[in-house]
Chain A
Amino acid sequence: DTGVSQDPRHKITKRGQNVTFRCDPISEHNRLYWYRQTLGQGPEFLTYFQNEAQLEKSRLLSDRFSAERPKGSFSTLEIQRTEQGDSAMYLCASSFPGGGSDTGELFFGEGSRLTVL
């Protein structure tokens, strides 16, 4: 399967613990996005990378959140000192935009569901 893959699919943790999610995008895609989705809501943008450069971070992304894409391939999203409000589905998507500000079609993974107890 050559789609976007995310790991783990489900993570249960206690409040205050750190968690890390990994995303492997489609190999030829140079853009990688992280979104967060809570129950009954649409995905909310968190951050995105163009190759290894993190170009934008949402105000939703507090200092406890950090994302990396060290070699322009896979990406990790770490949440430190988790809170119950962090419980959500974390979605990764990749794209190969046509140029300019065109986002292009986003290809999504199945998501990593975080439950903070």
Chain B
Amino acid sequence: GNSVTQMEGPVTLSEEAFLTINCTYTATGYPSLFWYVQYPGEGLQLLLKATKADDKGSNKGFEATYRKETTSFHLEKGSVQVSDSAVYFCAPDFGNEKLTFGTGTRLTIIP
């Protein structure tokens, strides 16, 4: 069946550190892949997406590459800021007209 596994949190980093949040999926087909972010006190919002293999999604300094071989879509940022503190969700679209969300990874950046 279809499923998504996301790196457990919480993750605490110092400002300017490198960030990786792992996301892998199991699918019978080739899903579109999304990362959503939830900032404190706000609703979920789309961070980036990739719709086919080898696509790279990017936004706000974050990147994720659709890796068909490893069924992964890891989120990366080279230098995190305090304002990046939020909860991040990996969310594949398995072609069943809805998104399936991972459990979320809470990120805290310390100045």
Binary CB contact string for chain A from 1 to 16 against chain B (1 if under 8 A, 0 otherwise): 0011000000000000
B89:A43 contact, CB within 8 angstroms? yes
Q: Answer yes or no: B58 CB below 8 A from chain A CBs.
A: no
A57 vs chain B, min Cβ distance (A): 11
Q: Answer yes or no: B98 CB below 8 A from chain A CBs.
A: yes
Q: Answer yes or no: B69 CB below 8 A from chain A CBs.
A: no
Chain A residue contacts of B45, Cβ below 8 A: 107-108
Q: Answer yes or no: A28 CB below 8 A from chain B CBs.
A: no
B101:A55 contact, CB within 8 angstroms? no
B43:A4 contact, CB within 8 angstroms? yes
Give A20 to B95 CA distance when docked, in angstroms. 30
Chain B residue contacts of A56, Cβ below 8 A: 97-98
A42:B104 contact, CB within 8 angstroms? yes
A42:B98 contact, CB within 8 angstroms? no
- Residue of B with least CB distance to A33: B98
Say which size band chain A's interface belongs to: 20 to 34
Give A33 to B95 CA distance when docked, in angstroms. 15
Interface positions of B (Cβ within 8 A of A)? 6, 32, 34, 36, 42-46, 49, 89, 91, 93, 95-104
Question: Top 7 A-B pairs ranked by shortest CB distance?
Answer: A42-B101, A108-B44, A108-B43, A110-B43, A101-B95, A103-B93, A43-B101
**What are 20 A-B residue pairs whose CB atoms fall within 8 Å in the complex?**
A3-B43, A4-B43, A35-B101, A40-B103, A41-B103, A41-B104, A42-B91, A45-B100, A48-B97, A55-B97, A56-B97, A91-B43, A101-B96, A103-B32, A106-B44, A107-B45, A108-B43, A108-B45, A109-B43, A110-B42
16 further A-B pairs in the complex, CB-CB below 8 A; given A43-B101, A55-B97, A103-B97: A35-B101, A40-B103, A41-B104, A42-B91, A45-B98, A56-B97, A91-B44, A97-B97, A102-B32, A102-B93, A106-B36, A106-B46, A108-B43, A108-B44, A110-B42, A110-B43
Interface positions of A (Cβ within 8 A of B)? 3-4, 33, 35, 40-45, 48, 55-56, 91, 93, 97, 101-103, 105-111
